[in-house]
Amino acid sequence: MAKQWTRRQVLAQIGIAAAAVHTLDPHELCCAVPAHAKTTDKDLFELKKVADGVYAAVAAAAYKVNSNAAVIVTDDGVVVVDSHSKPSAARAVYTEIQGITNKPIRKIVNTHFHWDHWQGNEVYAAANPGLEIVASQRTRENLTRPDAGAGGIPFIEKQLAGVPSEIEKLKGDIMRASNPEMKSRLEANLQQAEAYLQELKQLKPMLPTRTVSTTVTLHEQGREIQLHLLGRGHTDGDLYIYLPKEKVVATGDALIDWMPFFNDGYPEEWVQTLNALEKLDFTHIIPGHGEVLPKAHLTFFRGYLTDLITAVKTASGGGATLEEMQKKIADQLAPKYEQAMSKYPLGRYRDRIGQNVEMVYRKVVKKG
């Protein structure tokens, strides 16, 4: 049975003092959503059938974002890919799963270490004795590294330090709001932020109990599930979950239906990793965020990465400043990418293109 650690126990184990925590950098908020976004607490997820016994739990757009999940039913249990940003979201998905099967959850697979993909692990572990939590070795390491980025045990402490400031800002925005509809939505955002803070205070982080350092196959009862390590991309520990018979792949945030988050990524290597993914025989993608996608979306998403890198290199070579690049490249790539990458009220093209340009400039041009 997986041992359930309190946040304090894990912090003590890895030697992280809460006093050392700094305020959240806006860039660390990997999935911030504008205040006008839909923020309903109902219907957090929609369970959509992708293949026989394979479902995508597609997360609704909300101020406090959740990752999607892949739900794979085997002959004697269920494998769930990613566990969302908080226990309440995990409970919502778990309830949906129980609507299609009463089989126990045998395994959770965490695709990477970002906060919105693993902070619900504890719910599945508490309800399913003997649960195995699987991740790459590097993801397991990142979950306890204070310098890893936007996830892990240390990031819980950063959120605990930063969300109260976020709450105070929302309160100020509500006081200044003159539009009734805007005020109502800001109030919904505030409710979510306050509820999220309370959940953060009670988190009992569940770390992976099994790690993989190379591609492996899980021979579950009646189901072949391959875990592929294809290279660095969105993070340095991304796992791709591949069902060869069903021709389905679950990608975490390495392949999504909105703008990518580069802060913990490796832009040029990401392109090569997607090249490797493309070689697998699949027809459907369950992404980390957004709707279920056809394989053709890989070409589009990779094209954005490639065009962005090329544009930043060219602009930098011509002597442009970062600010000039951000304006020029945003307009330059917009005809091809803006509409398709602005379908949801979060992760939109104009909201994230400036940050994407900056990260590529720092990581590719400056080799930061």
**For the whole prediction, is pTM greater than 0.85?**
yes
Amino acid identity for residue 203 in this structure: L
| pLDDT of amino acid 62 | 82
**How far is residue 8's CA from residue 239's CA, in Å, rounded to a whole number?**
28
**How far is residue 224's CA from residue 182's CA, in Å, rounded to a whole number?**
48
> How many percent of the chain have pLDDT more than 70?
89
Query: pLDDT of 225-249, one tens digit each?
Result: 999 999 999 999 999 999 999 999 9
> How many percent of the chain have pLDDT more than 90?
83
| pLDDT of amino acid 253 | 98
Please state the length of the chain: 368
| pLDDT of amino acid 42 | 44
Name the least confident of 13-27, 112-126, 289-303: 13-27
| pLDDT of amino acid 61 | 83
Helices (H), the chain: 7-14, 87-98, 121-127, 137-142, 153-176, 180-202, 267-278, 296-317, 322-337, 349-360
Residue 122: pLDDT over 60: yes
pLDDT grade for 219, boundaries at 50, 70 and 90 = confident
Helix (H, G, I), strand (E, B) or coil at 71: strand
**Mean pLDDT confidence for 2-7:** 47
Which residues lie closer than 8 Å to 144 by C-beta, 6 or more apart?
10, 13, 14, 152, 153, 154, 207
Pairing assessment for the beta strands 284-287 and 248-252 based on DSSP bridges: parallel
Q: Is 251 exposed, middle or buried (0-12, 13-18, 19+ CB in 10 A)?
A: buried
**Mean pLDDT confidence for 285-304:** 98
Contact 252, 112 (CB under 8 A): yes
pLDDT grade for 317, boundaries at 50, 70 and 90 = very high
pLDDT grade for 29, boundaries at 50, 70 and 90 = very low
Name the least confident of 8-17, 100-109, 154-163, 357-366: 8-17
Q: CA 70 from chain center: how many Å? A: 13
**Mean pLDDT confidence for 75-91:** 96
Cα pseudo-dihedral 145, 109, 43, 152, rounded to 10: 0
More confident residue, 125 or 26: 125
For 192-299, strand residue ranges (E) read 210-212, 216-220, 223-228, 240-243, 248-252, 284-287, 293-294
**How far is residue 120's CA from residue 206's CA, in Å, rounded to a whole number?**
8
Name the least confident of 34-48, 136-150, 299-313: 34-48
| pLDDT of amino acid 16 | 35
Amino acid identity for residue 66 in this structure: N
